Amino acid sequence: MRLKYAILASAADASPDGKLSLIGADFHAIYSRSYPALHGSLVPVVKLYAGRDEWSKEKPVWVDLLDPSGAKMYRMEFMVTPVPNTLHPDEDSEVGLLATFLPLPLPIAGRYTLLITADEEQVGSVRFDAIQQNQEDKGGQ
Q: How many other CB atoms are found less than 10 A from the CB of residue 20? A: 15
- The pLDDT tens digits of the residues spanning 74-125 come to 999 999 999 999 999 999 999 999 999 999 999 999 999 999 999 999 999 9
Q: Above 90 in pLDDT, residue 16?
A: no
Q: Above 60 in pLDDT, residue 66?
A: yes
Q: What is the DSSP letter of 10?
A: S
Nearest C-alpha neighbor of 10 from the set 45, 37, 42, 44: 42
Burial 31-43 (b: 16+ CB within 10 A, else e): bbeeeebebeebb
Instruction: Report, as an integer, the average pLDDT of 66-73.
Output: 98
Q: Above 80 in pLDDT, residue 140?
A: no
- The pLDDT tens digits of the residues spanning 39-49 come to 999 999 999 99
Q: Above 80 in pLDDT, residue 138?
A: no
pLDDT score for 135: 62
d(C-alpha 40, C-alpha 58), whole Å: 32
Q: Above 70 in pLDDT, residue 136?
A: no
pLDDT score for 134: 82
Ordered by where they begin, the domains of the chain are 2-132 (2.60.40.1930)
